[in-house]
Amino acid sequence: MNDVPMVVRVRQETMEWYWNKVPFVMAVLCNDCFAVVRTNPLFRQESGYAESELLGRPMREILVDYDPHTILNGNPVSSNVVQLRKKNEELQEMEYMLMSIELDGAKHYLTLLHQPAAWQQSGLMQQFALTLLREESMGVILLHADFRVNAISPLACKVLGVREDEVQGKRMDELFSHTPFEHRLLKQMVVEEQPVRNHPFRWSKAYEQRELLMDANLLRDQQGRLLGAYVTFKDVSNLRSLEEQVQRSDRLAMIGQIAAGTAHEIRNPLTAIKGFLQMFKNTMKEKGLNKEYGYTEIMLTEIDRINELVSEFLLLSKPKNITFDLVDPNAVMSEIMPIIQNEALLHGIVVNYEKLSSLPRVVADGEMLKQVFLNIGKNGIEAMKEGGILTISGRIEREQGLTRWVSIDIEDNGPGIEPAMVDRIFDPFVTTKPTGTGLGLSVCQRIIHDMGGKIRVSSHEKGTTFTVSIPCSFEDKEEEF
């Protein structure tokens, strides 16, 4: 048997391939005394050494259990295990292949190293875990076996209203002390070993509200020993908002169908009643029946209210013909400001109108926008006591730099809307006014949605803000970008 290892002749171009083209393999070139003469970037990155610190060093100082004499019978040795001693003295298990080569007429030894499959898988899982912890729409809490916090993501910190440095090492009991129901669920998971799956709950803070789904379970190793637990929160606010919008549209469609079928049946008798009452009113005035004359006026006023209600029903029954055009938000607000200011004057309210300068045009129906802004402005005025302030302002909103909206904020400093009512404020027949029909905001939302926009509300004890967002024109988008 030949004990002299076969020498592989390697061209310089081939060596350059190992050095520059193979990012997943670490390469070390040694002379015939097994002293380092060259290393590739990946090896230096993993070991922590600079090139100058490696040149001339014996391989055995860098690779523990490294045995160059395992090259026998001219066959390269592969899949041997060796320990890489890093600059910080940390040891990392590696697999290596060793071959004898002739390079530029001189004998060298080439060692190729890579992480074992288990290490690669571990690294992949670690990167996956780190990505989850950084995910903005996913809250993650990792707990040790004694249920103390090991790691927590930014969204989880927001949900619980804590800082990361505050909760490191805290027990689960302390962490969930302000969310009692969720705490009971987690304790049940620990005691009964029952995982929590898709538990919905709502988180509100200041003007921000999120719909979340919570999952939790224990973590065990292959032998069944308890390693810890995890809790995750998934932000499903957008899905919930879409679901509510669909439900609201279904309700509006149902009301619209009823309205379309009954409106003329209501209006026909009302027209006849109104005509006869006007005749009675004139007769009573001629005969001096002042009390009866006053009663007929009240009845005619109430009939007018019924007619207005039927008209609002008809607005819900089918979308009004919307004429899309490029509309200047400044022009729309300037036209309706005298009406809003006169209404405010009657109630002793001050209107603070911040001119909507530098706003791009929007794709909308100008007349319909006036109806929406007048309705919301009037609601804000009626919600305040004398001396209140109604503020109207505009701004530009961007979503991931791709979509742009022109948003108009109409803010009052009244008592605000009760939290239980905020989610239902756009539902038909829901109103906070004693004499309101509860259809005004439903109609406004229908109009804005038909224009491809959105309408939102935020409220607290110091006031309420309605935000109407309309898509800007494509023409103005192109000019900006």
pLDDT single digits (tens) 188-203? 777 677 788 888 877 6
φ, ψ dihedrals at 109, nearest 5°: -125, 130
What value does the mean pLDDT of the chain take? 77
Q: What b-and-e string marks burial along 119-154, b requiring 16 or more CB atoms within 10 Å of the CB?
A: eeeeeeeeeeeeebbebeebbbbbbbeebbbebbbe
pLDDT tier for residue 395 given thresholds of 50, 70 and 90: confident
124 in the same domain as 97: no
The β-bridge relationship of strands 403-412 and 389-399 is: antiparallel
CATH number at residue 141: 3.30.450.20
Based on the domain organization, do 159 and 280 belong to the same domain? no
Confidence at residue 412, expressed as pLDDT on a 0 to 100 scale: 92
Confidence check: pLDDT of 158 > 90: no
How confident is the model over 31-43, as a mean pLDDT?
89
pLDDT of residue 56: 92
**Residue bearing the bigger pLDDT, 72 or 9:** 9
- What's residue 74's pLDDT? 45
- H or E element that contains 390: strand 389-399
Q: Which of 115, 148, 174 is the last residue of a domain?
A: 115
- Which candidate, 363, 352, 451, 472, places its Cα nearest to that of 407? 472
Residue 285: pLDDT band with limits 50, 70, 90: confident
| Separation between Cα atoms, residue 349 and residue 446, nearest integer Å | 28
Length of the chain: 481
Cα(141)–Cα(75) distance, rounded to whole angstroms?
A: 51
Report pLDDT for 212: 78
DSSP 372: H
Q: Which pLDDT score, from 0 to 100, does residue 120 have?
A: 52
Among candidates 30, 29, 4, which has minimal Cα distance to 14?
A: 29
pLDDT at 8 over 60: no
Domain around 47: 8-115
pLDDT in tens, 239-271: 666 666 666 666 666 666 666 666 667 777 888
3-state secondary structure at position 400: coil
Are residue 56 and residue 197 in the same domain, yes or no? no
| Tokens linked to 189 | 């998971």
The yes-or-no verdict on residue 318 having pLDDT over 90 is: no
Is 90 exceeded by the pLDDT of residue 36?
Answer: yes
Cα distance between residue 50 and residue 5, in whole Å: 31
249 assigned to some structural domain: yes
- Distance, in Å, from the CA atom of 278 to the CA atom of 299, rounded to the nearest integer, reads 10
- Residue by residue, DSSP assigns 251-278 as HHHHHHHHHHHHHHHHHHHHHHHHHHHH
Report if residue 55 sits inside a domain.
Answer: yes
Residue 99 and residue 181 share a domain: no
pLDDT by residue (tens digit) across 291-309?
888 888 888 888 887 877 7
280-298 burial code (b ≥16 CB/10 A, e <16): bbeebeeeeeeeebeebee
d(CA 195, CA 189): 5
Q: How confident is the model at residue 410 (pLDDT cuts 50, 70, 90)?
A: very high
Across 393-422, average pLDDT: 80
Kindly give the pairing relationship between strand 350-353 and strand 389-399: parallel
What CATH number has the domain bearing residue 332? 3.30.565.10
**Number of structural domains found in the chain:** 4
| Nearest CA among 309, 305, 306, 321 for reference residue 255 | 309
Distance separating alpha carbons of residues 437 and 261, to the nearest angstrom? 20
Does residue 41 surpass a pLDDT of 80? yes
% the chain with pLDDT above 90: 7
pLDDT grade, residue 18 (50/70/90)?
low
pLDDT value at residue 49: 93
What mean pLDDT do residues 453-475 have? Answer: 83
Inter-residue contact 226 to 218 (CB < 8 Å) = yes
pLDDT of 322-337, one tens digit each?
A: 778 888 888 888 888 8
368 falls within a domain: yes
Question: Do 333 and 426 fall into the same domain?
Answer: yes
The residue that leads in pLDDT, 21 or 363, is 363
Q: Does pLDDT of 345 surpass 50? A: yes
Among residues 352, 326, 328, 329, which one has the least CA distance to residue 340?
352
Q: What pLDDT sits at residue 373? A: 92
Tell whether the model's pLDDT for residue 435 goes beyond 80. Answer: no
For residue 3, being part of any structural domain is answered with: no
> Given 317, 352, 371, which residue is the final one in a domain?
317
Tens of pLDDT, residue by residue over 132-143, are: 666 666 788 888
Same domain, 161 and 272: no
- The helix (run of H) or strand (run of E) holding residue 394 is strand 389-399
Q: Across residues 427-435, what is the average pLDDT?
A: 70
Q: How many Å separate Cα 207 from the centre of its chain? A: 15
Q: What is the CA radius of gyration of the chain?
A: 37
2 found inside a domain: no
* pLDDT over 60 (residue 372): yes
Question: Residue 71 and residue 168: Cα distance in Å, rounded?
Answer: 51
- Within a domain: residue 184? yes
The domain boundary residue, chosen from 273, 292, 317: 317
Neighbours of 269 (CB within 10 A): 9
Looking at the fold, whether 173 and 231 belong to one and the same domain comes out as yes
Q: Are 104 and 82 contained in the same domain?
A: yes
Alpha carbon distance 92, 249 (integer Å): 61
Quick one: average pLDDT of 365-386? 88
In a domain, 1, yes or no: no
332 in the same domain as 301:
no
Residues 265 and 313: their CA atoms lie apart, in Å, by 13
Q: Do 169 and 77 have their domain in common?
A: no
Q: Which residue has the higher pLDDT, 312 or 9?
A: 312
Query: Given this model, what pLDDT does residue 248 score?
Result: 65
Asked if 137 and 246 sit in the same domain, the reply is no
Task: Calculate helix-pair angle for 366-383, 440-450, nearest 10 degrees.
Answer: 150
Cβ neighbours of 196 (radius 10 Å)? 17
Looking at the structure, tell me whether residues 295 and 393 fall in a common domain: no
